[in-house]
Structure 1
């Protein structure tokens, strides 16, 4: 029996949305492949971070608490040919001697939260910490001894999101931990609650914290 006009119409009506969906999926896959190839060719590098200053005020120790306010001066450098945007998260922590962590509250309270770096440029930014202990910990005796000697070693860790922007292409984000290690701070010999960074500063290292998106 020859197919009726109604049957042919129903088949055509069924094929059209299927073909449309297939076309949209093909376009989407092609678009994503093109984006991936473009970013692979551009291969942007993570910005550089350097500590240029570290000021400590109201620093105090007890058997189980560390208190203090910190202002970290950073220089951010963009090594890429494209615009790079750095967002400083409202979280981070301070390490003493690389094994004890004292979590900070609102490290970008008064500093810039977002820094836009044009290609091959650098900018300076201030990051503020106020350390408040969330849990009691045993303060290592070596910390007390070093404070009495006048020099304490700090490590500062920041979380940042880096956004790469290149013309018409969708932006690309990277979540990083920025590690600024071995920062020797000299404290005032009389009060011992105020200190400043020794030397001319140090470069920080970066570690991928959440994968590229």
Structure 2
């Protein structure tokens, strides 16, 4: 094997027993005018003028520039819906106010009913059959100053306690403000009745009088300044009308004078 020390040394000459540094690179040569790259390649070992990309990313990472503040724009449909909703609320408030003032100033008062007379004639009871004729007279008063009242489908019934004895109809009528109307109602009966009704009437006749009840029903409507409003069913109750009807007589009259009726 040859001795490595015997081989001639190659490389840079020694300087004071040490290797000399490598010579500086030659100066960059400027490319002539018209070439593709106006500058020469950078010397070997020179770093890039920008930051190296982050490991694992394909492209360099750049920080996004801050965006300026954007103005707030309303959505057109949302704005339209809000305006329509406000218009609806405003219209509803106006309509409610108008109806409230109409109700407050034009609110009608119920009519007043009063029985002035009640007579019975040809009254007879045999076995479980009852017959007779009744005649009632009413005064109806309209207390309103500017409201007219119309009465339609007027019916009347006469009772003994809860038992209906007879039913009749009364002609429709109309009342001006602050006016009085007199109604006449005639009833007739020739019908079968329960035993408790006969026993009760016979017992009352021994005391000299029989208590009858009268009810009226009517569909009423109110008119003020050309406007009809508040149509409803009116119920009138005239109760405990004492008719003098002793056992030895078949006729009698209401002995209590005029009496106000309840209205619903």
Query: How big is the shift at 1:132?
Result: 4.9
Structure 1 pair 85–129 and aligned structure 2 pair: CA distance change class (3 A): farther
Q: Compute the displacement of 1:45 (Å).
A: 1.2
TM-score (norm 1): 0.68
Give how far 1:146 is off: 1.5
**Rounded Cα–Cα distance in structure 1 between residues aligned with 2:230 and 2:125:** 43
TM-score by length of 2: 0.56
CA RMSD in angstroms, aligned pairs only: 3.1
Aligned to 1:147: 205
8 A contact 2:108–2:147 mirrored in 1: no
Equivalent of residue 180 in structure 2, options 102, 122, 131: 122
Q: Tell me which residue corresponds to 1:104.
A: 166
CA contact (8 A) 2:150 2:221 kept: yes
Aligned to 1:176: 234
Residue number in structure 1 paired with 2:159: 95
Q: 1:95 to 1:33 in 2, by over 3 A?
A: farther
Q: Is the 8 A contact 1:91 1:104 kept in 2?
A: no
Q: Which has the higher helix share?
A: 1
Summarize the alignment of residues 128-143 of structure 1 with structure 2, pairs less than 5 Å apart: 128-133=186-191, 136-138=193-195, 139-143=197-201
1:195 Cα shift?
A: 1.1
Q: Spell out the pairing of 1:8-27 with structure 2 (5 A cutoff).
A: none
Alignment partners' CA distance in 2, 1:68 and 1:51? 20
2:251 equivalent among 179, 188, 194: 194
Q: Distance in 1 between matches of 2:165 and 2:135?
A: 15
Q: 1:89 to 1:170 in 2, by over 3 A?
A: closer
Structure 1: tracts of 5 or more residues without a match: 1-26, 208-213
Runs of 4+ deviating beyond 6 Å: 30-33
Q: Does 1:61 align with 2:118?
A: no
Q: d(CA) in 2 for partners of 1:88 and 1:196?
A: 29
How far residue 103 of structure 1 moved from its aligned partner, in angstroms, is 4.7
Instruction: For residue 157 of structure 1, report the CA deviation from its aligned partner.
Output: 0.8
TM superposition shift of 1:32: 9.3
